[in-house]
């Protein structure tokens, strides 16, 4: 049996509580109960917008779907067929969505007016909204679009939803033009936009508070915009502002100096790294100068984990101070990372042998070999003693 549910949100988008009669209630195959009421203020998932949340007689409504004209609420507990239930929406969530959704109409309307673009994609989830336009925008055009959209908010213009008769509809210029002649719901932002849409919107644009385009990328030949309005825009502002304060307070500068301080931290880090590298090189040179090669003419250094460039530099420098091989071994979790350099001894074959005997990987030329070894210091020293 299919029902026709009266859509209370259609005529009053700010009706957040209502009474209704339960027409049917069945266990849902994916858990919960599918409840149909004679009327509802719950907006179902449709057109890229998530469904409303709330309660019916204190039973949680976890999803709302529409098929044909029948709206089904998915509830956590069953509701008695024939009984009257009191439905209460999560008004905060609904208002946040209406702020975003109406903001989307305004941006789309302006983009359509100035550039002839169509809105070809829309997603309104929890705390996030994306909208896709079928043409590209420069950063300057995006900034100007945002400014103009906010001016519409400040003008506090009326937002209307109506079902025009067939004749009116035929002559009406609106976005998302449908081939239908009746039953088309037109949402008008006075003086800015008219669009076919079934969702609830705020009643005046002032309720949106603010429209902020937070990100934009080129997408499928057009643009994808991330837009936040009202409550979610404020939450986003708070998060970003608190992040900025956390950084700038730590460095005793003003919030607007965040980029300056981030650049300075980056520069300081680079300088510190350069100084550290220089000091490590000096240390490596000092170590090389302080030791004498073993009886084979080899110089072997076993180091805590060290930078690869320093390691190569040390092996290279050490090779000038010995007649054999200079090997520098940097400790890893499972053994050592090695670099061996020699001015007189061909290393390629030695490297292959070493890898085979000491559970190693790597290779190189006769002048330099590098890789890893799964062996202890004693095993490595023993290998070099027998070359
Ligand atoms: Zn809409």
- Parallel/antiparallel/unpaired status of strands 325-332 and 299-303: parallel
36-67 burial, b for 16+ CB within 10 Å, e for fewer?
A: bbeebbbbbeeebbbbbbbbbeebebebbebe
171 alpha carbon – ligand 1 mean position (Å): 21
Tell me the helix, strand and coil percentages in the chain, rounded to 5: 35, 30, 30
- When pLDDT is cut at 50, 70 and 90, the band that residue 65 belongs to is very high
Distance 188 CA to ligand 1 centre (A): 9
DSSP H or E segment with residue 328: strand 325-332
| CA pair distance 114, 102, nearest whole angstrom | 19
Question: Residue 183 has what pLDDT?
Answer: 84
Distance CA 136, CA 140 (A): 12
Separation of 202 CA from ligand 1 center, angstroms?
A: 10
Which residue carries 């946040």 as its tokens?
A: 96
First CA to last CA distance, the chain: 89
Kindly report, residue by residue over 366-376, the tens digit of the pLDDT: 999 999 999 99
Which residues, including other chains, have CB under 8 Å from residue 356's CB and lie 6 or more apart?
Answer: none
- The answer regarding whether domain 292-385 maps to CATH 3.10.310.40 reads yes
Q: How far apart are the CA of 355 and the centre of ligand 1, in A? A: 68
Distance 253 CA to ligand 1 centre (A): 43
Residue 37 Cα to ligand 1 middle (Å): 24
User: Looking up tokens 């359509």, which residue turns up?
Assistant: 112
229 CA to centre of ligand 1 in angstroms: 14
Q: What is the CATH number of domain 6-89?
A: 2.40.30.130
Q: Where are the alpha helices (DSSP H) in 291-329?
A: 308-319
Tell me how far the alpha carbon of residue 104 lies from the centroid of ligand 1, in angstroms: 8
In the reported structure, the alpha carbon of residue 225 is separated from the centroid of ligand 1 by a whole-number distance in angstroms of 16
> Helix crossing, 258-290 with 308-319: angle to 10°?
30
- What pLDDT, in 10s, does the model give residues 284-329? 999 999 999 998 999 999 999 999 999 999 999 999 999 999 999 9
Q: How far is the CA of 49 from the centre of ligand 1 (A)?
A: 9
Query: How much is the pLDDT for 308?
Result: 93
If you classify domain 94-238 with CATH, what class do you get? alpha beta
Ligand 1 center to 240 CA (angstroms): 28
Say if CB 187 and CB 195 are below 8 A apart.
yes
Burial group, residue 243, by CB count within 10 angstroms (0-12, 13-18, 19+): exposed
DSSP state of 177: -
How much distance in Å is there from the Cα of 43 to the middle of ligand 1?
Answer: 12
Taking CA atoms, 110 is separated from 190, 224, 363, 387, in Å, by 12, 16, 63, 79
User: What is the residue extent of each domain of the chain?
Assistant: 6-89, 94-238, 292-385
pTM of the model: 0.79
Question: Counting Cβ atoms within 10 Å, is residue 10 exposed (0-12), middle (13-18) or buried (19+)?
Answer: middle
Compute the average pLDDT of residues 56-75. 96
CA of 35 to the centre of ligand 1 (A): 26
Express each pLDDT in 160-211 by its tens digit: 999 999 999 988 999 887 777 778 999 999 999 999 999 999 999 999 999 9
Ligand 1 centroid–CA 201 distance in Å is: 6
Q: What are phi and psi of 202, to 5 degrees?
A: -70, 165
How far does residue 200's CA lie from ligand 1's centre (Å)? 7
Distance 224 CA to ligand 1 centre (A): 18
Statement: residue 1 has pLDDT above 80: no
């Amino acid at each position: 049996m299919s029902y026709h549910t009266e859509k209370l949100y259609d005529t009053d988008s700010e009706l957040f509580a209502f009474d209704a009669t339960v027409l049917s209630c069945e266990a849902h195959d994916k858990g919960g109960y599918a409840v149909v009421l004679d009327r509802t203020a719950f907006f179902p998932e449709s057109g890229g917008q998530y469904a409303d949340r709330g309660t019916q007689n204190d039973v949680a409504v976890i999803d709302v779907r529409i098929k044909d004209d029948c709206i089904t609420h998915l509830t956590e507990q069953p509701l008695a067929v024939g009984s009257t239930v009191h439905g209460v929406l999560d008004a905060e969530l609904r208002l946040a969505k209406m702020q975003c959704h109406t903001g989307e109409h305004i941006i789309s309307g302006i983009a359509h007016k100035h550039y002839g673009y169509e809105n070809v994609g829309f997603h309104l989830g929890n705390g996030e909204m994306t909208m896709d336009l079928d043409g590209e925008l420069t950063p300057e055009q995006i900034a100007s679009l945002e400014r103009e959209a906010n001016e519409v908010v400040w003008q506090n213009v009326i937002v209307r939803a109506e079902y025009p008769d067939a004749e009116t509809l035929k002559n009406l210029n609106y976005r998302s033009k449908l081939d239908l002649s009746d039953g088309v719901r037109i949402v008008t932002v006075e003086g800015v936009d008219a669009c076919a849409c079934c969702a609830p919107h705020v009643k005046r644009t002032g309720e949106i508070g603010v429209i902020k385009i937070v990100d934009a990328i080129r997408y499928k030949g057009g643009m994808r915009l991330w837009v936040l309005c009202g409550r979610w825009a404020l939450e986003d502002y708070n998060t970003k502002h608190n992040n900025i304060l956390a950084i700038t307070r730590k460095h005793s500068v003003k919030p607007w100096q965040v980029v300056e301080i981030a650049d300075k931290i980056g520069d300081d880090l680079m300088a510190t790294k350069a100084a550290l590298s220089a000091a490590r090189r000096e240390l490596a040179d000092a170590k090389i100068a302080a030791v004498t090669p073993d009886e084979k003419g080899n110089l072997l250094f076993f180091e805590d984990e060290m930078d690869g460039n320093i390691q190569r530099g040390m092996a290279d420098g050490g090779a000038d101070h010995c007649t054999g091989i200079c090997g520098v071994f940097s400790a890893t979790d499972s053994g050592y990372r090695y670099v061996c350099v020699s001015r007189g001894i061909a290393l390629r074959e030695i490297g292959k042998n070493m890898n085979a005997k000491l559970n190693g990987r790597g290779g190189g030329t006769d002048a330099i070999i590098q890789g890893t070894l799964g062996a202890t210091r004693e095993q490595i020293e023993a290998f070099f003693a027998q070359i």
